[in-house]
Chains A and B, each alone.
Chain A
Amino acid sequence: MYDTSDIRKGLKIMIDGAPYTVVEFQFVKPGKGAAFTRTKMKNLLTGAVLERNLRSGDKLEPADVETKTMQYLYADADSFIFMDTSTYDQVGIPKTTIGDSADYMPENINVEVLFFNARAVGVSLPNFIEQAIVETDPGFRGDTATGATKPAKISTGATINVPLFINVGDVIKIDTRTGQYLERLARA
């Protein structure tokens, strides 16, 4: 068990049955009362942010969470199959757990998989990925500055808005947090 003196950014604790990670914390001590730690935490399952005043002396249950670097191998009917890069064990994670992250998760990419009570509950992607365009309308040579965009498809099937000069086979950099095109890294 932890107590409030263990609270640090990134500490993983259980609150009302869900795992949280500490985002921010502050010492507070009202009037002639006990010390509290005003603690802002993020729910590791839902991303929801919660603020609690945790009283010094209160026991905090550590959350049994672990992140492992895993390589995404392939998808079957309802799961994505990952391989632990250190043990080579393979695990399947339901597609519903991965959700929209799948748009920016091409095969063979390394991701951080979050386990809660030994069950995979989510993945975090690298902030940026490099992907070749597999499908888009022909580009217009020379049009580099107008800011106009067109849809382009990458290997995951996701559609990205790219500048008009991008062609099939070009390799681009994408921000996985926003789904935005950032730059062209190589021409076809």
Chain B
Amino acid sequence: MVAARETLEARARILRAVRAWFESEGFLEVDTPARVRSPGQEVHLDAVPAGEAGWLITSPEYHMKRLVAAGLPRIVQIAKCWRANEVGPHHRGEFTMVEWYRANAPLEALADDCEALLRAAAAAAGRDPTALGLAAPFARATVRELWARHAGIELDGDEDATALRAKAAAAGVAVGGATAWDDIFYQVFLDRIEPRLAAAGPTFVFDWPAPLAALARAKSGDPRVVERFELYAGGLELANAFGELTDAVEQRRRFTEEAALRAARGRAVYPIDEALLSALPRMPPTAGIALGFDRLVMLVLGARDIGEVMAFGDENVG
């Protein structure tokens, strides 16, 4: 499935519009290493090996945060990223990420960025933002609200995995052999929430439960949730944003925990990024976000498979 010429032309126009938008907002475009010693430590991501003791990035976030800590308050990168064993209608092993950081800005500012960026992308491709459902302000919901509304489950965020499993089972979700908190969560999410999001207009989903914190900081006033949102539009998971954790002690604790989980699941364990941990104390309060560029093009052009918007989507197979 090689993309059609018109698709590649539209993709190029969208890319130019994205760059122009960030420039107009005063962002500095940066270029950080693609081959690193410490790729993302997330439990469910596998990096592609690149030479001895090297890996291709699964996202550019660690190096970009070090730049923010070094005093660059608004940076953006349009980066190729690689993730092993991910091929599907919305996944390829190699893809393009737009990642940006705003120092001294609230998480909400990134939601505003997304709205503006999606509209700019649609306009660049000659598509009507209204027809794509992008013209009106995007819907905003919390994870708890969506669980109550679509699954009839009262989610606290501090219940243990056994309690969460019981709640899911009581709501009729087939949880299978899932015993880990996040596995039970995502079973409910995929079965009950995601199909409803796919049918709705663009939606920011805020306030993720603490067990899914990743690199986000706890929300002040409610430590059971973290400052994180995901943007869903047109059935696509388009972006993930954090109020960035700058507490190096807490970040080390999470990395260590994730490393243990990776080891327990038989996945490669990557070295902890000490350079990031030593930079975190110098990082101002920052909001950061990653947006899948290929998926953005899919949304604007109405593509069903991510391979349709890549020059060689059929060769790019995990």
Of residues 196 through 246 on chain B, the ones whose CB sits less than 8 Å from some CB of chain A are: 212, 214, 230, 237, 240
Of residues 45 through 67 on chain A, the ones whose CB sits less than 8 Å from some CB of chain B are: 52-55, 57-59
B176 at the interface (CB under 8 A from A): yes
Q: Which of B91, B182, B191 is close to A34, meaning CB atoms less than 8 Å apart?
A: B182
Taking residues whose C-beta sits less than 8 angstroms from the other chain, chain A's interface range is 20 to 34
Segment from A25-33, A123-131, A166-174 that makes contact with B: A25-33
Q: Which of B86, B194, B214 is close to A35, meaning CB atoms less than 8 Å apart?
A: B86
Known contacts A29-B44, A32-B43, A34-B44; 17 additional CB pairs below 8 A are A26-B89, A27-B91, A28-B90, A28-B190, A30-B237, A31-B230, A31-B240, A32-B182, A33-B44, A33-B182, A34-B183, A36-B187, A53-B187, A53-B190, A55-B176, A55-B186, A57-B265
B185 at the interface (CB under 8 A from A): yes
* Cβ of B5 to closest chain A Cβ, rounded Å: 28
* Cβ of B52 to closest chain A Cβ, rounded Å: 28
Of residues 31 through 85 on chain B, the ones whose CB sits less than 8 Å from some CB of chain A are: 42-45, 85
Contact B187 A55 (CB under 8 A): yes
Q: Which residue of B lies closest to A52 (CB)?
A: B174
Contact B174 A31 (CB under 8 A): no
Of residues 100 through 150 on chain B, the ones whose CB sits less than 8 Å from some CB of chain A are: none
A38 at the interface (CB under 8 A from B): yes
* Cα–Cα, bound, A29→B42 (Å): 13
Contact A29 B91 (CB under 8 A): yes
Q: Which residue of A lies closest to B213 (CB)?
A: A32
Given contacts A34-B182, A35-B44, A55-B178, contact A27 B86 (CB under 8 A): yes
Contacts of B177 in A (CB 8 A): 55, 57-59
* Cα–Cα, bound, A33→B187 (Å): 9
* Cα–Cα, bound, A59→B85 (Å): 19
User: What are some 14 contacts across the A-B interface (CB < 8 A)?
Assistant: A16-B174, A26-B89, A27-B89, A29-B91, A30-B194, A31-B186, A31-B240, A32-B44, A34-B186, A38-B190, A53-B190, A55-B186, A58-B177, A59-B177
B residues with CB within 8 A of A: 42-45, 85-91, 174, 176-178, 182-183, 185-187, 189-191, 194, 212, 214, 230, 237, 240, 265
Given contacts A26-B89, A29-B86, A31-B237, contact A36 B174 (CB under 8 A): no
Q: Which of B90, B178, B240 is close to A32, meaning CB atoms less than 8 Å apart?
A: B240
Contact B191 A32 (CB under 8 A): no
Contacts of B240 in A (CB 8 A): 31-32
Contacts of A31 in B (CB 8 A): 186, 189, 212, 230, 237, 240
Contacts of B85 in A (CB 8 A): 35
Q: Which of B87, B185, B186 is close to A36, meaning CB atoms less than 8 Å apart?
A: B186
* Cα–Cα, bound, A76→B77 (Å): 76
Contacts of B189 in A (CB 8 A): 30-31, 33
* Cα–Cα, bound, A31→B183 (Å): 12
What mask results when residues 10 to 26 of chain A are scored 1 for a CB within 8 Å of chain B, else 0? 00000010000000001
Q: Which residue of B lies closest to A53 (CB)?
A: B190
Q: Which residue of A lies closest to B185 (CB)?
A: A33
Q: Which residue of B lies closest to A34 (CB)?
A: B44
* Cα–Cα, bound, A52→B174 (Å): 8
* Cα–Cα, bound, A122→B280 (Å): 65
What mask results when residues 134 to 166 of chain A are scored 1 for a CB within 8 Å of chain B, else 0? 000000000000000000000000000000000
Contacts of B191 in A (CB 8 A): 53
Contact B176 A54 (CB under 8 A): yes
Contact A33 B176 (CB under 8 A): no
* Cβ of A129 to closest chain B Cβ, rounded Å: 39
* Cα–Cα, bound, A32→B187 (Å): 13
Given contacts A38-B190, A53-B190, A58-B177, contact A33 B183 (CB under 8 A): yes
Contacts of A33 in B (CB 8 A): 44, 182-183, 185-186, 189
* Cβ of A128 to closest chain B Cβ, rounded Å: 34
Contact B88 A26 (CB under 8 A): yes
Contacts of A55 in B (CB 8 A): 176-178, 183, 186-187
Contacts of B194 in A (CB 8 A): 30
Contacts of B212 in A (CB 8 A): 31-32
* Cβ of A66 to closest chain B Cβ, rounded Å: 26
* Cα–Cα, bound, A33→B214 (Å): 11
* Cα–Cα, bound, A28→B183 (Å): 13
* Cα–Cα, bound, A54→B174 (Å): 10
* Cα–Cα, bound, A128→B254 (Å): 63
* Cβ of B194 to closest chain A Cβ, rounded Å: 6
